[in-house]
């Protein structure tokens, strides 16, 4: 694991810069390079200067394929279509790929699944170590608490987030559904408006809040008669996602081909 060469696609974005800083602070790896979409205003910028580290002598490029060819692992917080395309590059180069992008559709997930037959891919809607512990707790609680306990998932993110419910909220819903041995799509209630009638027994509800610069707050509520259990995770900084992604990249390098989750990385 020593001196694992890790690249960053989308390196000038909010998360990309945090990942660069997390890599620089991790002794077991080196920054192998960074890329952006052609035409990006960051093209040619020094990666270290971009991340507030001071010059590193490496500049932002626009050739993602070339970046994958020179890395042991690549970390990707971009967009769904771009991440799916990058997965194909990872498969071709036999390079570990860590995907923190959310909002994937079925076709994009299928493309990532195909790539994972050729290389190790870690995909998680949330790279925070704490959130992944929360996922395990929610599944366990849902196993113990039957449908007499209504499950509601409340999430809040910054005003710039474009998908809703968040990928993490959906993952928490899947964890709860797994605990109850039901299909999430059959019981999910993502929108309530107007006269909705009484709550259907066994539903898993979602509430989405957006505003300010909230990095990510998630609460899973088990509401029963006379008592309520709330499991909450609050991220005060996006740095937790960057550190988790670096941990995933170090773990994925050398793993056999497959589609992995952060629960695999953490041994949960």
**Distance between CA atoms of residues 66 and 44, nearest Å:** 15
pLDDT of residue 1: 45
Residues designated catalytic: 157, 161
Q: Which residue has the higher pLDDT, 223 or 238?
A: 223
Closest CA to 125 of 235, 257, 231, 204: 235
**Distance between CA atoms of residues 29 and 6, nearest Å:** 7
The whole-chain average pLDDT of the chain stands at 95
CATH 3.40.50.300 assigned to 129-235: no
Q: Are 138 and 175 in contact (CB under 8 A)?
A: yes
Provide CATH 3.30.360.10 ranges for the chain.
129-235
How confident is residue 102, by pLDDT bands cut at 50, 70 and 90? confident
Residue 56 Cα distances to 20, 24, 88, angstroms: 11, 10, 29
How confident is residue 133, by pLDDT bands cut at 50, 70 and 90? very high
Homologous superfamily assigned to 4-123+238-266: NAD(P)-binding Rossmann-like Domain (3.40.50.720)
Provide CATH 3.40.50.720 ranges for the chain.
4-123+238-266
Residue 191 pLDDT exceeds 70: yes
pLDDT of residue 268: 79
Query: Rounded to the nearest 10 degrees, what angle do helices 129-144 and 167-179 cross at?
Result: 30
Is 105 buried (19+), middle (13-18) or exposed (0-12) by CB count in 10 A? exposed
**Distance between CA atoms of residues 215 and 148, nearest Å:** 32
């Amino acid at each position: 694991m020593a001196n694992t060469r890790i690249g960053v696609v989308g390196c000038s974005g909010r998360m990309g810069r945090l990942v660069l800083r997390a890599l620089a602070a991790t002794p077991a790896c080196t920054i192998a390079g960074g890329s952006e979409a052609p035409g990006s205003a960051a093209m040619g910028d020094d990666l270290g200067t971009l991340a507030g580290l001071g010059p590193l002598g490496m500049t932002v490029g626009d050739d993602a394929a070339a970046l994958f060819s020179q890395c042991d692992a690549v970390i990707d917080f971009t967009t769904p279509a771009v991440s799916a395309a990058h997965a194909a590059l990872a498969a071709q180069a036999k390079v570990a790929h860590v995907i923190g992008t959310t909002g994937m559709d079925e076709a994009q997930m299928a493309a990532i699944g195909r790539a994972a037959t050729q290389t190790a891919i870690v995909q998680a809607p949330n790279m925070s170590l704490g959130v992944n512990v929360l996922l395990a707790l929610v599944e366990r609680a849902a196993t113990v608490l039957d449908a007499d306990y209504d499950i509601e998932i409340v999430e809040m993110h910054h005003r710039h987030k474009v998908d809703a419910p968040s990928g993490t909220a959906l993952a928490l819903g899947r964890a709860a559904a797994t605990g109850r041995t039901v299909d999430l799509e059959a019981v999910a209630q993502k929108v309530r408006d107007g006269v909705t009638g009484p709550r259907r027994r066994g539903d898993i509800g979602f509430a989405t809040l957006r505003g300010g610069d909230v990095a990510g707050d998630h609460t899973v509520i088990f509401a029963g008669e006379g008592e309520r259990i709330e499991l909450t995770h609050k991220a005060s900084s996006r740095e937790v996602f960057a550190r988790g992604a670096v941990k995933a990249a170090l773990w994925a390098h050398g793993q056999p081909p497959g589609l992995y989750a952060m629960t695999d990385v953490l041994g949960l």
